[in-house]
A = this chain, B = another copy of it.
Amino acid sequence: MTADGAASGGRGRVTITEIARHAGVSVPTVSRVVNGRSDVAPGTRARVEDLLRRHGYRRRAASPGRRAALIDLVFNDLDSPWAVEIIRGVEEVGHAAGVGTVVSAIHGRSGDAREWMRNLRARASDGVVLVTSALDPVLHEELRILGVPLVVVDPAGSPSLDVPTVGAANWAGGLAATQHLLALGHRRIGLIAGPPRLLCSRARLDGYRAALEGAGVTVDERLIVPGDFRAESGCAGCETLLDLADPPTALFAASDQMALGAIEALRRRGRRVPQDMSVVGFDDLPEVRWSSPPLTTVRQPLADMGKLAARTVLRLTRDEQPDAPRVELGTELVIRSSTAPPPTG
């Protein structure tokens, strides 16, 4: 992207020439700011960025010949076990379209996010797929100003955003997991819940409640314990449930990692899965096919979510509209060896 490529605002709102006149700087200087170059004095940059923002400047859509043929895929952290699943989906669609996938982690730190934004401008990426439960409003606004299409992959189910999002059917997943345990004959079913600030946690919990109520089983609030999706919290939550006077015979952990933590807590107490306690997870990470025992879980189609997000962002780069502003892909119960009827007696 050079000065001429960035020289006019889309939607006829404002041109770089006008911004330059307002800021009292040259057109190439404004262009350097727009394109994230470092050779601009900080004061000048701030003044120009402010004007760009106030005038709602949008970078003109690049002509096909000028496309960078890159999409940016941004995570908060790359230590999540499902990151690679989403990367796989985005990369597959990008590869087929001749578009490279630039993977970044911003660690929820504003410094890293601003650094990433600078790099994004410099490489003139065609679009962004953001994988995070909390969209930084400043980041969001900057992308809007730059006119870079944005799609959010949102396994956590954020409140409505004004950008297209791809999520998963969390409520239906919680329902299916609990119905499976009910069908096996369990009536005392524990839940290790996810972080309450995430809507996906609430949706899975509500699915659990709906299944119990649908089967005429009264929800026992003591059987619902908090977790944070990590294995440690699943281990601790399971111990809390085992310490009850009347512990459950089955539990639904709202993430696979918590399910693995729960299985370890049971092993430490000499309890067998599923003979003494059934365990259902949520995610279907590749590793749970070979947990001991292999985990019954609710499959989140993470690679498919990545694919759909990539396809949507590519459509937006062609000025096409997505099918719907918010899409939830279906979840699916996968039955393996960690669930069985309750122990008799």
Contact = CB atoms under 8 A, between A and B. Distances in A.
A87 B102 contact: no
A104 B264 CA distance: 36
A271 to B, nearest CB: 11
Contacts of A290: 231, 257, 260-261, 264
Contacts of A81: 84, 286-287
Contacts of A231: 289-290
Interface in A63-86: 68-70, 72-73, 78-79, 81, 83-84
A100 interface: yes
Given A78-B88, A84-B87, A102-B103, 13 more contacts: A69-B122, A78-B84, A81-B84, A83-B84, A87-B87, A91-B105, A92-B105, A98-B118, A99-B119, A260-B287, A261-B290, A287-B287, A291-B291
Interface residues of A, number: 46
Contact of A95 (B73, B95, B104, B264): B104
Interface secondary structure of A, over-half rule: helix
Contacts of A84: 78-79, 81, 83-84, 87
A19 to B, nearest CB: 23
Interface centre among A102, A122, A289 (most CB of B within 10 A): A102
A92 B105 CA distance: 8
Interface in A105-146: 105, 112, 115-116, 118-119, 122-123
Nearest to A120: B100
Contacts of A115: 95, 98
A5 B110 CA distance: 35
Nearest to A263: B292
A312 interface: no
A195 interface: no
29 contacts: A69-B122, A70-B100, A70-B102, A72-B100, A78-B88, A78-B91, A79-B286, A83-B87, A84-B84, A87-B87, A88-B105, A91-B105, A95-B104, A95-B112, A98-B115, A98-B119, A98-B122, A100-B102, A100-B119, A100-B123, A101-B104, A102-B103, A103-B103, A260-B290, A263-B292, A264-B294, A267-B293, A285-B287, A291-B292
A275 to B, nearest CB: 11
Nearest to A98: B119
Nearest to A257: B290
Given A78-B84, A264-B293, A104 B100 contact: yes
A123 B292 contact: no
